[in-house]
Amino acid sequence: GNGAHVQALVIGTGYGGSVAALRLAQAGVAVEMIEMGMAWDTPGSDGKIFCNLTSPDERSFWLRTETKQPVGYFLGIPIDRSIPSYTGILDAEDFAGITVYQGRGIGGGSLVNGGMAVTPKQENFGAILPSVDPNEMYNVYYPRANAGLGAGVIPNSWFNTTQWYEFARVGQKQAGRSGFPFEFVPDVYDWNYMQQEDAGTVPRSALAQELLYGNNYGKKSLQKTYIPAALATGKVNISPLHKVTSVSPASGGGYTVLMNQLDTSGNVIVTKEVTADKVVFAAGSVGTSKLLVQMRDTGQLPNLNDQVGQGWGDNGNIMVGRANQIWDPTGANQSTIPCGGIDNWTAGGAFAEVAPLPIGIETWASLYLSITKNPHRAQFSWNSSTQKVDLSWQQAWKQDGITMAKTIFDKINSTEGTIYRTDLFGTYKTWQDELTYHPLGGAVLNQATDNYGRLTAYPGLYVMDGALIPGNTSVNPFVTITALAERNIENIIANGG
Ligand code: FDA
């Protein structure tokens, strides 16, 4: 409540925040978690907590009057629709050159993501986090993260036979015919549950077009893993619909944290002030970077160093669709959960997830989300005239990612005698080059912070999320974010801060 004093305050309830809360609580520290989004624990009038991809309602987007679907067109026709403005689950946050998609609610990105739990190849790790000992990561922290998250691979026999993964088998076959390795990737979806969905013995979730706006049953989001473990310690409290707006040193020691309590229309209903001995910034790459840059440049935390706000990248995200031959249908029935990708990282700088297009009709389309080695990095800066934080990313920089993704898809098109789809991201628009799902950086490890996430100018302030990672992970990022948080919080606890 207002005026309270807490031992540790964690801003955000995504991967970094949940790991920090659990480990601090296990070490005996009382933790208050502050989350701007909703709790997502109460069914709506349809009996479901979350809505599905094909019928987005007010629950779908964060304070928008129209959906902003990543695949926003079909046959070149826009498919976005009007929705009531509400504190919904998926935020499509617009900057000048890019829209950054993020989860809002208790569980952060784990509520909306595809659950792909990918550990980078160890030979690529040095380029991801050069100051981190890879042996420690691969022997201790990646295994700890994967166990805590509940990652597993699709059972092979089911993959090979089920109609729900025909789209992925087409992807596998075509990768092979063009000489690319197809790699199964683990996911946190409960694969046994999905097979029961198929058998019709349980309510459907992945097989009922649920993904971007939440998953009602089978996905092990943080709501089923780290967060209940943290709450079970009895030392953690979570406040949803509270947005942190300011952190500054308190006169008697510790930090003053200001926050706005929101209603479901996004209006501020009350402003609160709390003091905390320690504050963990885990608001995600964008949320943490925006807060820190604003605090530094408006004088609340003036001694934050000039690396704060630097080193932001899009993990090279690029989406594209291909039109298959008539004899290669991808299936009217598609699971929403991806299970594999095409690896051309070393030769071409691209790793392409074979993604579903689960709209319930045969489309003959193959959709891919590629992660590329795009070298561009942007910075956050405080704009005193708009009183907002800007991001310097330019849309033209996506061309590097497109060039890398083409090393895979030009080859596959040539082998198969096929072409790109131009009707999914606009009218005659081939590449989705306007968004990222994987914001990374802004408070890079060992640059903006020490080698464990401490903001050393301010004892007791830490960064614990995707802001620490310098723009790219070579694969989907949440396992790396989780593993790095496990590493950092262990060091912070062991050293008393
Ligand atoms: P994360 O964003 O998870 O959490 C930050 C939390 O802080 C949010 O809940 C936010 O609401 C809250 N917050 C922000 N500002 C605040 C403030 N001022 N006050 C209070 N709270 C605040 N990754 C992957 O590895 N595999 C995958 O399959 C996918 N798929 C995918 C699909 C889609 C559609 C998206 C949007 C993202 C993915 N991702 C993914 C990316 C993954 O979800 C992402 O990298 C992580 O969630 C980032 O974890 P963090 O802990 O950094 O922040």
Q: What is the pLDDT of residues 168-215, one digit of tens each?
A: 999 999 999 999 999 999 999 999 999 999 999 999 999 999 999 999
For ligand 1, say whether the CB of 34 is within 6 Å of any of its atoms: yes
At residue 288 the predicted structure's pLDDT band, cuts being 50, 70 and 90, is very high
* DSSP state at residue 428: S
The pLDDT score that the predictor gives to residue 1 is 73
State pLDDT tens for residues 356-404. 999 999 999 999 999 999 999 999 999 999 999 999 999 999 999 999 9
CA 460 – ligand 1 centroid, Å: 23
The pLDDT score that the predictor gives to residue 3 is 83
At residue 46 the predicted structure's pLDDT band, cuts being 50, 70 and 90, is very high
Give yes or no for a contact between 127 and 480, defined as CB atoms under 8 angstroms apart.
no
CA nearest neighbour of 277 among 11, 493, 496, 7: 7
For ligand 1, say whether the CB of 70 is within 6 Å of any of its atoms: no
Q: Which helix (H) or strand (E) holds 344?
A: strand 340-344
Residue 494, judged by CB atoms within 10 A of its CB (0-12, 13-18, 19+), counts as: exposed
Give yes or no for a contact between 313 and 376, defined as CB atoms under 8 angstroms apart.
yes
> How large is the average pLDDT for residues 247-270?
97
State pLDDT tens for residues 401-440. 999 999 999 999 999 999 999 999 999 999 999 999 999 9
Considering only CA atoms, which residue is closest to atom 18 of ligand 1? Answer: 244
CA 12 – ligand 1 centroid, Å: 9
- Radius of gyration for the alpha carbons in the chain, expressed in angstroms and rounded: 22
At residue 476 the predicted structure's pLDDT band, cuts being 50, 70 and 90, is very high
In sequence order, which residues have a C-beta less than 8 Å from that of residue 308 and are 6 or more positions away? Answer: 289, 292, 293, 296, 442, 443, 448
Q: How far apart, in whole angstroms, are the C-alpha atoms of residue 261 and residue 270?
A: 5
The pLDDT score that the predictor gives to residue 486 is 99
353 is catalytic: yes
CA 98 – ligand 1 centroid, Å: 16
Residue 2 has pLDDT above 90, yes or no: no
Average pLDDT, the chain: 97
Per the structure block, which two tokens stand in for 66?
């129209």
Residue 337 has pLDDT above 90, yes or no: yes
State pLDDT tens for residues 91-138. 999 999 999 999 999 999 999 999 999 999 999 999 999 999 999 999
The pLDDT score that the predictor gives to residue 12 is 99
Considering only CA atoms, which residue is closest to atom 50 of ligand 1? Answer: 284
For ligand 1, say whether the CB of 460 is within 6 Å of any of its atoms: no
How wide is the angle at C-alpha 182 spanned by C-alphas 197 and 482, nearest 5°? 70
Closest atom of ligand 1 to CA, residue 115: 28
Q: How far apart, in whole angstroms, are the C-alpha atoms of residue 375 and residue 373?
A: 6
